[in-house]
């Protein structure tokens, strides 16, 4: 009887492992949604990663959970240490935005001055391994890189006002972009956002048409597009999303508590105790957002906070070429949210939506059987798309600019 129970337990564990490894899952090129335009044809031809099979490591790479876990635990394999300079930007409300600036290791292939302005994921900064790996790869291809450090994310930088980063606040990113434009008047920009950073950069570009000036293109990877729609899915156990929600909430608690004196110092003792009590007992991001985060910008409810800070209400205003990348096995982004980028790409000629079968959340590791390569598919596709976009701008006829409409072309010919 006992041996039978042990055998059943072992069989159950093996079954779970096999299901998690997902070995029988096929590999395929990304599923692309786009309109057939000269620019899009050129981009897809010039960036082969978008049309070729993405092949993850055989033994574990077809599991979105393992890809996500490896990204979350290690970030990247053999991560380099790019050397940059930290910049401090005072904000109007007393906050101090910081970003790290990395100069290119050589000339860009077009001979132009190109800067990538990069917004990391939730609670992340320039010292994270996946950011360091990507920056090093971009530097080697001739790009200057400016990486935003989310307000409050760096453990050794004190807050200078009672506010930290939120889901969709674009103030710090706008300040960094403004600095780059002023300091390098000849540079053109490639905008890149990872996860929460993807929401911020798309919202930033869509908030004001002037924010798109000197921007060649934008790439967003693994964002969820609408916090309001994602809210319910994050409370579901499907794909262990509720568990991931708990882990991210725990990380947010640590960040908030590390700045408790700056964030709550001006409040009454009773209010501080109430806020901290609700924070300690929170088990989800939604509880933290409702009790703490929404109040930084005076939102009256969680619904209003999520509505105002989600890029879904702004992304349709983006006119520059836009590459939206997601993974079908991302355990954090529910499949229902992917109708947003798919519908957008079907309606707007400047948008390409790329959905890979595998990759997890910001994983996208590549490798033969067991050990992943230092560079991921994600790193290669962003730089490949950026290179293609720069090449298009360099060699295109004047009326085929990515910023000009067909009516503008007609007028120019006339």
- The residues annotated with a catalytic role in the active site are 195, 330, 361
* Contact predicate 175/97, CB 8 Å: yes
If we measure between CA atoms, which residue out of 313, 315, 319, 326 comes closest to residue 349?
319
Would you call 357 exposed, middle or buried from its count of C-beta atoms within 10 A (0-12, 13-18, 19+)?
A: buried
Q: Count the Cβ atoms, other than its own, within 10 Å of residue 147.
A: 29
* Residue found under tokens 């930007």: 89
- CA torsion 361→263→152→69, rounded to 10°? -30
Whole-angstrom distance, CA of residue 413 vs CA of residue 8: 75
Dmax (CA) for the chain in angstroms is: 88
CB 294 within 8 Å of CB 302: yes
DSSP secondary structure string, 81-135? ----EEEEEE-TTS-EEEEEEE--SS--TTSS-EEEEEE-STT--TTSHHHHHHH
Token representation of residue 295: 């109040």
- Token pair recorded at residue 43: 């981009």
Tokens found for residue 239: 């794909």
Q: What are phi and psi of 325, to 5 degrees?
A: -120, 130
- Calpha distance 64→61 (Å, rounded): 7
Contact (Cβ atoms closer than 8 angstroms) between residue 327 and residue 63? no
| Distance from C-alpha of 207 to C-alpha of 202, rounded to nearest angstrom | 9
Tokens of 374: 């230092």
């Amino acid at each position: 009887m006992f041996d039978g129970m042990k055998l059943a337990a072992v069989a159950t564990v093996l079954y779970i492992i096999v299901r998690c490894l997902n070995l029988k899952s096929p590999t395929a090129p990304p599923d692309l949604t786009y309109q057939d335009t000269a620019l899009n044809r050129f981009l897809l031809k010039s960036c082969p990663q978008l049309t070729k099979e993405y092949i993850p490591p055989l033994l574990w790479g077809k599991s979105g959970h393992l890809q996500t876990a490896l990204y979350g635990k290690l970030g990247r394999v053999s991560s380099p240490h790019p050397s940059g300079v930290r910049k401090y930007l005072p904000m109007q409300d007393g906050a101090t935005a910081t970003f790290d600036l990395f100069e290119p290791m050589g000339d860009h292939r077009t001979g132009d001055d190109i800067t990538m302005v990069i917004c990391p994921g939730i609670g992340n900064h320039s010292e994270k391994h996946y950011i360091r790996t990507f920056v090093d790869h971009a530097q080697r291809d001739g790009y200057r890189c400016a990486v935003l450090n989310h307000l409050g994310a760096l453990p050794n930088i004190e807050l200078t006002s009672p506010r930290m980063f939120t889901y969709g606040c674009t103030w710090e990113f706008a300040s960094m972009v403004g600095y780059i434009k002023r300091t390098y008047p000849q540079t053109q920009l490639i905008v890149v956002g990872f996860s929460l950073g993807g929401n911020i950069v798309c919202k930033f570009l869509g908030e004001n048409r002037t924010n798109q000036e000197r921007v060649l293109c934008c790439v967003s990877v693994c964002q969820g597009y609408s916090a309001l729609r994602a809210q319910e899915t994050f409370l579901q156990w499907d794909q262990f999303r509720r568990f991931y929600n708990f882990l991210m909430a725990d990380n947010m608690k640590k960040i908030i508590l590390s700045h408790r004196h700056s964030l709550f110092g001006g409040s009454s003792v009773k209010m501080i105790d109430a806020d901290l009590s609700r924070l300690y007992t929170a088990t989800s991001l939604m509880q933290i957002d409702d009790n703490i985060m929404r109040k930084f910008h005076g939102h009256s409810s969680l619904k209003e906070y999520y509505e105002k800070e989600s890029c879904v209400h702004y992304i349709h205003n983006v006119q520059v070429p836009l590459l939206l990348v997601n993974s079908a096995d991302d355990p954090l982004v529910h499949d229902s949210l992917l109708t947003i980028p798919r519908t957008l790409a079907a309606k707007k000629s400047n948008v390409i939506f790329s959905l890979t079968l595998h990759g997890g959340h910001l994983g996208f590791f590549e490798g033969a059987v067991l050990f992943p390569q230092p560079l991921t598919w994600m790193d290669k596709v962003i730089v490949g798309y950026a290179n293609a976009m720069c090449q298009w701008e360099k060699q295109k006829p004047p009326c085929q600019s990515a910023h000009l409409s067909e009516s503008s072309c007609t007028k120019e010919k006339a």
